Chain A
Amino acid sequence: RKEVEQDPGPFNVPEGATVAFNCTYSNSASQSFFWYRQDCRKEPKLLMSVYSSGNEDGRFTAQLNRASQYISLLIRDSKLSDSATYLCVVRGNNRKLIWGLGTSLAVNP
């Protein structure tokens, strides 16, 4: 079983739709959680950190459920520019980032 699992998609949604991505992780000792965005042939860029209390940044909301070892990302009112791969990332006390395979999103006009 992979340490971080995501549905690879692709998710194809129309502009304005709400889309949700889920991620599970296997190491209960994981300490920090992130969502990164990666455009085709570019480096990953931090989208947001994820906290147990949930956090929101504009149209993006991230949630962490430690008991279920589950992380989510919700994108509201999706834009064409949101088309990218979204990577779920987990970090333990050994400092390494463990990455999911990524979920591909295509927002269509």
Chain B
Amino acid sequence: GAGVSQTPSNKVTEKGKYVELRCDPISGHTALYWYRQSLGQGPEFLIYFQGTGAADDSGLPNDRFFAVRPEGSVSTLKIQRTERGDSAMYLCASSLTSASTDTQYFGPGTRLTVL
């Protein structure tokens, strides 16, 4: 079946602009996670949703970052007033539930470059 998909695969923007990154989880998965990975680093947790609600947003670096999942399926990560330091690979993952033993399946990521 279809895996997690993310669009766009690459996004180049200018400092100060607004960007939206989209994630389509595996159908039926209730938990959705966003991570950010900088070059040479492991992924860093940003936020996770259980259904429509953000269950833990403690990883969002500041108030320029916001994510929504209005219908409990597709999620959008929104970054306002982008900065060069926001350049990274943004990874989305989904799992059947948020149980600690459930496998998280990752999408191919969106590579964001802020010039």
Residues of A in contact with B, size category: 20 to 34
A98 close to B40 (CB less than 8 A) = no
Set A32, A43, A46: member contacting B108, Cβ < 8 A: A43
A93: CB under 8 A from chain B?
Answer: yes
A59: CB under 8 A from chain B?
Answer: no
A91 close to B100 (CB less than 8 A) = yes
B100 close to A32 (CB less than 8 A) = yes
- With A44-B91, A87-B42, A102-B42 as contacts: A97 and B108 at CB distance below 8 Å: no
Q: Closest Cβ of chain B: how far from A2's Cβ, in Å?
A: 9
B78-115 interface code vs A (CB 8 A; 1 in, 0 out) = 00000000000001000000101101111111010000
Q: Closest Cβ of chain B: how far from A97's Cβ, in Å?
A: 6
Closest to A96 in B: B45
Residues of B in contact with A, size category: 20 to 34
A95 close to B31 (CB less than 8 A) = yes
Closest to B50 in A: A95
B31-58 interface code vs A (CB 8 A; 1 in, 0 out) = 1010100001111110010000001100
Q: Closest Cβ of chain A: how far from B47's Cβ, in Å?
A: 10
B1-39 interface code vs A (CB 8 A; 1 in, 0 out) = 000000000000000000000000000000101010000
On chain B, the residues within 8 Å of A32 by CB distance are: 100-101
Q: A43-B91, A102-B42 are in contact. List 15 more A-B contacts (CB 8 A).
A: A32-B101, A41-B111, A43-B106, A43-B108, A44-B106, A49-B101, A89-B42, A93-B100, A95-B48, A95-B55, A95-B56, A96-B48, A97-B104, A100-B42, A101-B40
